[in-house]
Amino acid sequence: MIKKLFVANRGEIAVRIIRACKELEIPVVIGYSDADRFSLPTFLADERICIGPANPKESYLNIPSIISAIEITGADAVHPGYGFLSENIQFVEICNATKIIFIGPTPENIRVMGDKSLAKKIAKKVNVPVIPGYEESDFKKAFYHAKKIGFPIMIKSAAGGGGRGMRKVYNKEEFEKGWHTCQQEAKISFGDGSLYIEKFIERPRHVEIQVLCDNKGNTYVFPERDCSVQRRHQKLIEESPSPFVDRKLRKKLQKYAKRIVKYIKYRNAGTVEFLIDQDRKPYFIEMNTRIQVEHPITECVTGIDLVKNQIKIADNLKLDFAQRDIKINYHSIECRINAEDPENNFMPFPGRIKKLILPTGPGIRIDTHIYEGYYVSPYYDSLIMKLISYGKTRQEAIERMKRALEEIVIEGIKTTIPFYKQIFSNPLFLSGRYYVGMVDKMVSEEHQREKII
């Protein structure tokens, strides 16, 4: 049994984990950086300990510091949340070697799914379709493969994601320029210049399947989340179920996800991601071996607490639901509210929150770590809040989200709230016919109008 859990993260996900621990009656410790000394998680946790300076490399990514903090506080388990060390194989192996329970998958799970090329080989092996593509570090060989696949082509880092080291190219000239740019970005961001080239699918949907796998070989698959509303490959809005996915396609996606996780003997929470073309043909693209930012909408739709069940699985406890209990009870939508200035190319906007009024009422959930007087630090990701709505229908969830976006007040910093109001008045989004690339097109058209004016 877990006696004390250490949270190796910050912000809203740290708050989320602390709340799950409170409900499971597990004492919880937060490791914080100097910049997060007065953050909400430090007030909510049972214990707190400083793990280093503001720079993430010296605190939230500092493995020796975190392991020392876990040992000093007497914690016997660690939850990494998402980002930071959540998919760091070395950290998981050290935890295993020092008898610290890691709330997440095995090192081998992370290794095989963290390698995009290997992950796609596994998908092919279990008869899950993938987009035609190749991993390559040599330009001439890559260009040969590109001609074989046919333009347009997507070039992206083989070692990482998040939109870094990624370009869409339509011809030889663009390919050569895009290749060298992506390789440089990949080296800087991930320390690996290997690139993956694949066929570019026009106007795809980005849809993912949440899974939970226990230690007894049971795999639970959840209704899909649609993550197609993105800007520069960063997710902005997620919803479940997808307005594009019908029952037949849902069953197919769940079947494919189950095949992959069964084959690799996956454990704990994970997400299998697909691109779907306009003919509703799905292609496996990757698996995230951690809890996702957008997990709350799955919780709202099904009523199943994913974070608590992550902890239960790691603690070898029996889960209190079966696959037949996983049903679509509601429709849910999530907006990622960032401290950014939409009118200045979405530049991060750190600063002190002078006034904060949060929306409430039927069908609204807020996951956040901010409060009135809180200082949004420039050292970390700009996500400050996840605004979630849910209702019996998609229309009800949309109306509740629009109400919440009108009610919310955040003064002292600029946020992406005005931009979300634009999206929720966009006919293409409201119709459910949106696609990956829709937001980038919106932003481009807005800039063109500004130039004309």
Q: pLDDT digit string (tens) for 151-208?
A: 999 998 877 665 566 888 999 899 999 999 998 888 887 778 889 888 889 899 999 9
Q: Does residue 415 share a domain with residue 291?
A: yes
Locate all alpha helices (DSSP H) within 303-367, ordered by sequence. Answer: 306-314
pLDDT surpassing 60 at residue 453 = no
pLDDT surpassing 70 at residue 231 = yes
Q: What does the DSSP 8-state code read for residue 3?
A: -
Q: Assess if residue 124 is contained within a domain.
A: no
Q: Does residue 448 share a domain with residue 379?
A: yes
Please tell me which residue in 16, 231, 290, 336 is annotated as part of the active site: 290
Residue 407's contacts (CB-CB under 8 Å, 6 or more residues apart) are 357, 359, 361
CA distances in angstroms from 416 to 341, 348, 356, 378, 430, listed in the order given = 7, 10, 15, 16, 19
Q: Assess if residue 335 is contained within a domain.
A: yes
Q: How far is CA 84 from the centre of its chain?
A: 12
CATH number of the domain where residue 72 is located: 3.40.50.20
Q: Does residue 147 share a domain with residue 14?
A: no
CATH number of the domain where residue 350 is located: 3.30.470.20
- Higher model confidence: residue 444 or residue 196? 196
| Percent of all residues in the chain with a pLDDT value above 90, rounded to a whole number | 85
Q: Assess if residue 122 is contained within a domain.
A: no
Q: Does residue 293 share a domain with residue 186?
A: no
CA atoms within 13 A on the CB side of 128: 28
Confirm if 205 and 275 have CB atoms less than 8 A apart.
yes
Tell which of 103, 120, 142 closes a domain: 103
Residues 77-98: tens digit of each pLDDT: 999 999 999 999 999 999 999 9
Tell which residue, 1, 31, 13, 20, has the closest CA to residue 290.
13
Q: Is 332 exposed, middle or buried (0-12, 13-18, 19+ CB in 10 A)?
A: buried
Q: What does the DSSP 8-state code read for residue 279?
A: T
Tell which of 83, 103, 123 closes a domain: 103
Angle between helices 172-190 and 139-149 (to 10 degrees): 120
Q: Assess if residue 127 is contained within a domain.
A: no
Q: Does residue 174 share a domain with residue 275?
A: no
Q: Does residue 95 share a domain with residue 52?
A: yes
The residues facing 48 across adjacent strands are 30
Q: Does residue 230 share a domain with residue 290?
A: yes
Collapsed DSSP state (helix, strand, coil) of residue 221 = strand
pLDDT surpassing 70 at residue 446 = no
Q: Does residue 84 share a domain with residue 211?
A: no
Tell which of 145, 175, 199 closes a domain: 199
- Higher model confidence: residue 350 or residue 441? 350
Alpha-carbon distance 158 to 166, whole Å?
Answer: 10
Q: Assess if residue 85 is contained within a domain.
A: yes
pLDDT for the residue numbered 444: 75
Q: Assess if residue 324 is contained within a domain.
A: yes
Q: Does residue 211 share a domain with residue 184?
A: no
* For residues 18-38, average pLDDT: 98
Q: Assess if residue 330 is contained within a domain.
A: yes
- Within 200-354, strands assigned E span 205-213, 219-221, 225-231, 234-240, 268-276, 282-288, 331-338, 340-341, 347-348, 351-352
Q: What residues make up the domain containing 99? A: 5-103
Q: Does residue 156 share a domain with residue 244?
A: no
Q: Does residue 397 share a domain with residue 289?
A: yes
Q: Does residue 335 share a domain with residue 213?
A: yes
Examine the residue annotation and report whether 290 is marked as an active-site residue of this protein.
Answer: yes
CATH number of the domain where residue 169 is located: 3.30.1490.20
Collapsed DSSP state (helix, strand, coil) of residue 412 = coil
Angle at 216 between CA 210 and CA 219, to 5 degrees: 20
pLDDT for the residue numbered 61: 98
- Name the residue type at position 435: Y
Residues 282-311: tens digit of each pLDDT: 999 999 999 999 999 999 999 999 999 999
Residues 128-157: tens digit of each pLDDT: 999 988 888 889 999 999 998 889 999 988
Q: How many domains does the chain have?
A: 3
Q: Long-range contacts for 43-49 (Cβ within 8 Å, ≥24 apart)?
A: 44/15, 44/18, 44/19, 45/7, 45/18, 47/73, 49/73
Q: Assess if residue 396 is contained within a domain.
A: yes
* For residues 323-336, average pLDDT: 98
Locate all alpha helices (DSSP H) within 34-97, ordered by sequence. Answer: 40-44, 63-73, 89-97
First to last CA, the chain: 65
Confirm if 37 and 375 have CB atoms less than 8 A apart.
no
pLDDT for the residue numbered 447: 59
Alpha-carbon distance 251 to 263, whole Å?
Answer: 18
Compute the CA torsion angle 426, 429, 432, 437 (nearest 10 deg). 140
Angle at 192 between CA 145 and CA 97, to 5 degrees: 125
pLDDT for the residue numbered 191: 79
Q: Is 426 exposed, middle or buried (0-12, 13-18, 19+ CB in 10 A)?
A: middle
